[in-house]
Amino acid sequence: MKHKELVSELAGRTGWALDDVGGILSALALEIGTRLVDNKVVCFPGLGQFEAEKELEHISVDANGKRYLIPPKLKPIFNPVEKDKGEGDVLTIKELATAVAVHTGKNKDSAEQFLQAFSALVAEAIRLGQEVEVKGLGTFKPASPEGKLCFIPAKELESAVNKPFSFFEITELNEGVHFPDLEETVQEVSEPAPEVSEAPDEIQEEKMEPQVIPAEKEESFPTTPAPLAEEKESESPRRYPWWGVALLLLVVLGVGLYGIFSLEEKDTKAVLLTARDTISVDADTVLVETPDTLEIKAVEPEPPKEIGKDTIAPGDMLTTIALKYYGHKIFWVYLFDYNKGIVKDPNNIPIGTEIRIPARELYGIDPHKAESREEAARLQTEILTKNK
């Protein structure tokens, strides 16, 4: 019996509208998941009871000898035999009807009658050898000809029940890493080992091929032969007195020396003026004056302690934020440690809470190094042990 057939059958037996039946079944699945998280047992008289089995944190070794740290897990089950348990741990069908009525707007008497009809319909289908699918809750199946049943929980129910452990994940352990308090079993890992998110490929700079600019062609001008100097009649050279020639040479030499020294002095002044006007000091440098020289020493900027802040939105968890900033969910433990004054319970962070994101260097976070992931896993185990 598929979910739609179940809704139709219950609508016919209770006289409710199809939408109302679908709504109360969704509220039923939600309420059962919430109660199982609180370690409650939900009873359906004549049918059985829902409860959660806890699998403790342990170390699993696969066929290849690789060791994995397996986080704790809650498994929703349905026991066809009602077991005795403390009164405070059992949710009766009347209490369940009251809780469901709050979600649907129905009165508790109508909700209780509906739950009794649901229980009777499932029991009847199992006796006839039929499966019953309840969306968001799971599938009831006959397990034997005698009418016993088994229950396969829906993914939505499993997710709801394991929400407190959603920030834990399977972590591969290196050789020599041991946790004496944890049981170690040799079996294949039911879930694949977590994949370490690889850093994005480095952006390769495009090699710019040098652009060959064609040389400009020199303009060629037609060469014309130089005009022939007119031949002049040779004249006999004029003679000057020797002292006149000597005086002229002295004047030329004096003017030349004066020009040279004058230019050197101007160049020196210009260089000094340029150096004085163009010396600039960066903001992160310090001038240290000594008796003989003027030293410029660079000051190393302090590494940032935080890389930003993030606000908890609906659906956000410390694991998703760790994956966003650090590339791996296992580093949620450092977000929790850094925000201890703000976050008291990592499972229950109010929406709108602003948390600070510590820099990777502060905790030595490196998603590519197994040592860094193992240290985070060790801290995760400590947190889990304290919250047991």
Query: Rounded to the nearest 5°, which phi and psi values hold at 30?
Result: -65, -45
Total number of domains constituting the chain: 2
Q: Write the CATH number for 378.
A: 3.10.350.10
Q: What is the average per-residue pLDDT within 282-294? A: 47
pLDDT value for 241: 61
pLDDT tens digits, 70-102: 888 888 888 876 555 555 578 888 888 888 888
Final residue in a domain of this structure, among 163, 190, 219: 163
Final residue in a domain of this structure, among 163, 193, 227: 163
42 within some domain: yes
Whole-model pTM: value is 0.49
Residue 347 has pLDDT above 50, yes or no: yes
Query: Containing domain of residue 339, as a range?
Result: 306-386
Q: Comparing C-alpha atoms, which of 72, 69, 65, 53 is closest to residue 187?
A: 65
91 within some domain: yes
Coil/strand/helix, residue 253: helix
Burial 124-144 (b: 16+ CB within 10 A, else e): ebbeeeeebbbbbbbbbbbee
- The pLDDT-based confidence of 235 (bands split at 50, 70, 90) is very low
Final residue in a domain of this structure, among 125, 142, 163: 163
285 within some domain: no
176 within some domain: no
Residue 1 contacts by C-beta under 8 Å, 6 or more apart in sequence? 9, 125, 130, 131, 132, 133
233 within some domain: no
Q: Write the CATH number for 8.
A: 4.10.520.10
110 within some domain: yes
- The pLDDT-based confidence of 366 (bands split at 50, 70, 90) is very high
Helices (H) and strands (E) in the chain, counts: 10, 15
90 within some domain: yes
292 within some domain: no
- The pLDDT-based confidence of 326 (bands split at 50, 70, 90) is very high
pLDDT tens digits, 239-275: 556 666 677 777 777 777 776 666 555 554 544 444 4
pLDDT value for 229: 42
pLDDT tens digits, 46-75: 788 888 888 888 888 888 888 888 888 888
